[in-house]
Each structure stands twice: as structure tokens, then as C-alpha cells.
Structure 1
């Protein structure tokens, strides 16, 4: 089974890379948004899935990356690549300055502490003239969906390879040790503060790059859209649905949920708004470890897998 995994992944990657040449414009645009959501889910997977810290503040990094590109291109007339670097720099500085104090909190205290970050940052940016305040910024248009699609795919591959490296590196083992037993990790000699901050920074880098691509693709930027808290909810749901703490789980979750959400939005709009709420309940009660765990254990336990989870996670 494992011998077939790599060729299958390569075939899927080739098919995705070729999509702009055989797919419709609508499909390519859907692909861009889905790939960027997968990047965000994979970035959250680093801090939430492998480190065990459920961050609700990763959308702040997305917004900082978007504003880095917007400010560089609109206010300073600099190239897109410079704007991406500026956005990443903003995200890294923010992750370090915020991560050192906030990552000392644990569990729901950490989640609550990060929950309001997006709204706070939106309020700050809306009062900064360089960022366009509440009016926002209009970026120079570039009608090249193929380029944005390929950039998004490359970014997703880079994020996934980084997660794959985590599963085989000392740094990644340290993050897993923190997730399983942080006190035990300290006893084993893991510098937990440094590891957690680095994981937060790594998640912030990929989120910021996704935000930069999104900003240039959409060509409009304002505080409400850049620091949208629902974006953070989506990336968490997609990672949890696919399987947190796995390499491909967040990607599979993003692709499946994005496709279903898009179908419901176009066919049954009244249900589309409730979709992610339903997914949360299903994921928490029936498969708290995501689809990846279902694939691994269902053939052994059968339907008892879901029965056991319902008993354990009953409300």
C-alpha cells in the first residue's frame, strides 16, 4: 500500500498542476481559493495539529501578509515579490512578539487569548493611513489566474513538504512531545518556549504568503476582509476534518469541504450557511481525529469506530 502512495500523490500533483490548461476559468478560480485554504489549514496544522496549541489567531498572519503586499505595491510602488517578503517579515515579528507571552497559556486559555486577535488587528489597521484605514487599498490588476493558481499550488507543496519534514526531524519530534505531554518534554530537555514560538512563526509564514497571493489576486484589501475571523474557523475545521497532526489530512479536508461548500452555495443556499457548523458537530462526535484516523482504523473496528466515538464524545 505504501509503495503505491508516492506514485498516486505524484499523479494527483501533475493533474492539479495541469488544471489551468484543461479546466474552465471558474474551475481555476475555485482552485485558487481552495489551494489557499489548504495552505492555511496546513499552516494551522503545524501549531494546532503537531504542537497541540489550538490557535484562533492565524488569520492575523494572513491579513499581515495581504497588507504587506498591498502597502508595498500601492504605497511604495514596489514589486509583488518585495511585498511578499515584507508581509512575511511582518508576520514573523508579530509571531515572535505575541508568541512569547501568549504561548505560555495552555488549552482553552490559549484559544481564548488568540480568538480576539483578528478583531484587534483590524481595528488597529483601520486607523493606519499607510494601510488605507477603513477605505482599504486597491492593488494594480493582473488578469493572470494561471499564475496565481500555480503560485498557490507551489506554496501548498512547500507547506506540505515542511510538515513532512516535521515528521522526520528532531524539531518535529519536539513539537509532538509538547503536544503529548509538555511537562514530560521539559524533563526530556526540550526547550518548549523556543519550539512553540518557532512553530508559531512557521505557521505564520505560510499564512502570510497565502494572504499576499490572495490580496494581489483579488486586487482589493480592507481590514474586514483581511482579518476575517471566519477564515480562521474554516482553516481549523478543514484541518480537524481531514486529520490534525497528519501530513495530508488538512489538504484532503480542505478539498472535500471546499467542494461541498461550493456545491451547496450554488444549489442550496439556505443550507450553505449551516454547513460548517454541521461539520464541527460531525467531526467532534463521530471522528475527532479526522478522516485520516477513520481510514487507518475503520477496516479493523468497522462501525464500532463511530459508536465508540459517540460514547466517548457524547454531549
Structure 2
């Protein structure tokens, strides 16, 4: 009991120290590293957001960038066309993303597996074409947003969104809705037999993911001061979020954050060395993840005997 409490206390202390370092980072380093850290936080937030529907609910959303685009364009239109302050425009974008998730989720979440994945991708492509042909959004030429006075602002906005998304992943499994979502993920037929209605709970997970993506989209739009349909309605956002979640550990609170930190840091280093090595590394990494650690780094960390024992077990299981 004492050891368990001591382990919990150590984890809380480590988390508090990490947050303190994150809050003080802009004062400790230069603009280049602040910008790099902002990008890492953005993808950490996306991974945590995708984890809500892809990890906890078990629904692979390949079209999650649809909600990033909704958040980005709502924020951009309100700021550029109506001079709405950024915080209000950001919340409006996230709210509209949730509305879209509820409406589309009522239809798409009746599908399962690869059918759901393909349908969400189609939904994103429809929104991309819609944004490219509307005068309000600037069409294919995109639109410009006002320039912020302080660059550090975006770092703290991304930090806040990332903390919110990670907190959602931390508390969801402890709530009644989290138990229902987990039951549906493991065996939907059995969950229905127990009286759990799957669709409302799946919509909750889908909407939570959409809210995070909508917030990230709004901050992204203001950060880069320019958006166009191919940039924000881009499947690459979802793919990177998926890889980071799988690397860190799906259905865990901090696994996606760890995955984003490690992979984006490696991405930066390898890109400066060689684009070829960068692409080869990440392609090989995905293959190795599927074979040796389908539950990510979190699974290796929890394995008895440590990482080497887990790798040996994976080799035996796959007969390698």
C-alpha cells in the first residue's frame, strides 16, 4: 500500500515538475525552441484528441482533420470578417466542430472498422471542397488572419489545449461514461446486452475528439495567419496523430503526449540530416510498432521483466 502511494506521489511530482518546466520554457530559451515546442504541443494535443475516439472508443477516425478545418475556418472568418476577439472566435470554432461531430456521428458511428475510417475521410474531403468553393472562406486562394503581437501567445494556447486534452484522457476512464465506452470498444454486443446504448456514448467520444481538433485548428489558424483548404483539411494531421498515439500507447492518458514529444523531436533531428532517412525511419517505425508493441510504449513499460523481456515475448509470439 505504501509503495503504491509512493509510486503515485512520484508520478504526481514528475507531472507537476513537467508542467512547471513547460510553463517557464519561453523564459528559459530562444524563439526557435519556443516555436519548436509549440509544434510539439500542437501534435500532442491532436494525438490526445484522436485518442478519445480512436484509443478509448476504438473507432479509427482518419478524417479527424475535418474538425481541425472547421475550427480553423470558423476562427479565421470571425476574426477577419467580423473582428471577433480571438478567444471568442476560438470557442465558436470548437463549438461548431462539436455540432458537426454530433450530426455526422449520428450517421457515421453506425459503421464500424474500415467502413467508419473511409467514411470519415470522405467527410473531410467534402468539407475541403466546400471550403475551396465558398466566397466566405476565400475559396481556393485561402484567407489571411490578423497578426498577433506576441509569438509566445501561441505557445501558451497550445499548452492549454494540450493540457485540457490530456486531462480528458486521464479522467474519462474513471467516469461512468468511460466505463461504458470501454465496454463498447471491447464487445459492443455484450455491452448492448447489459443495457448500454452504444451510439450516444460513441458520439460523446467523437465530440470530445472534435472539440480538441477544433481548438487546435483555431490556434493553428491564428498562429500561421493564413489558411487554405488543402492545408487545414489535410489527412496528414490525422495520420501523425494516429502514429503518435500508437507509439505512446492508445487508451492511456499521457501515452499520446510521450509519443508526440519523442517522434516530433526525432522528426526535427532527422529532417536536418536527411529527408530520405527521415521517411525510411518513420516507415520502419510503424511496421515495428505493429509487430512488437501494438499497445505502444506504455505496454512495454508495464511489461514484467522490462522492455527486453517484452521484445523477446513479441518475437516468440510472432515466430521471428
Partners of 1:159 and 1:138 in 2: CA distance: 28
Partner of 2:314: 309
Please tell me whether the aligned partners of residues 43 and 203 of structure 1 are also in contact (alpha carbons under 8 angstroms): yes
Instruction: Give the total of aligned pairs.
Output: 314
Q: 1:4 aligns with which of 1, 10, 18?
A: 10
Please tell me whether the aligned partners of residues 237 and 279 of structure 1 are also in contact (alpha carbons under 8 angstroms): no
Partners of 1:302 and 1:161 in 2: CA distance: 27
C-alpha deviation, 1:304, in angstroms:
4.3
CA-to-aligned-CA distance 1:200-248 (integer Å, 9 cap, x gap): 0110001100110011010000001011111110000000100000011
Please tell me whether the aligned partners of residues 300 and 307 of structure 2 are also in contact (alpha carbons under 8 angstroms): no
Partner of 1:215: 221
1:131 aligned counterpart, secondary structure = coil
Partners of 1:275 and 1:99 in 2: CA distance: 35
CA-to-aligned-CA distance 1:279-309 (integer Å, 9 cap, x gap): 2112111100000010000x43653422433
Please tell me whether the aligned partners of residues 300 and 306 of structure 2 are also in contact (alpha carbons under 8 angstroms): no
Partner of 2:53: 47
C-alpha deviation, 1:70, in angstroms:
0.5
Q: 1:36 aligns with which of 42, 53, 65?
A: 42
Please tell me whether the aligned partners of residues 240 and 250 of structure 1 are also in contact (alpha carbons under 8 angstroms): yes
Q: Any unmatched runs of 5+ in structure 1? A: none
CA-to-aligned-CA distance 1:113-140 (integer Å, 9 cap, x gap): 2223322211111001101100101111
Please tell me whether the aligned partners of residues 54 and 111 of structure 1 are also in contact (alpha carbons under 8 angstroms): yes
Please tell me whether the aligned partners of residues 285 and 314 of structure 1 are also in contact (alpha carbons under 8 angstroms): no
CA-to-aligned-CA distance 1:183-205 (integer Å, 9 cap, x gap): 11111221210000111011000
C-alpha deviation, 1:313, in angstroms:
5.4
Partner of 1:16: 22
Partners of 1:18 and 1:309 in 2: CA distance: 41
Partners of 1:108 and 1:99 in 2: CA distance: 15
Q: Any unmatched runs of 5+ in structure 2? A: 1-6
Instruction: Tell me if 1:245 matches 2:251.
Output: yes
2:163 aligned counterpart, secondary structure = helix
Instruction: Tell me if 1:300 matches 2:305.
Output: yes
Partners of 1:111 and 1:251 in 2: CA distance: 23
RMSD: 1.6
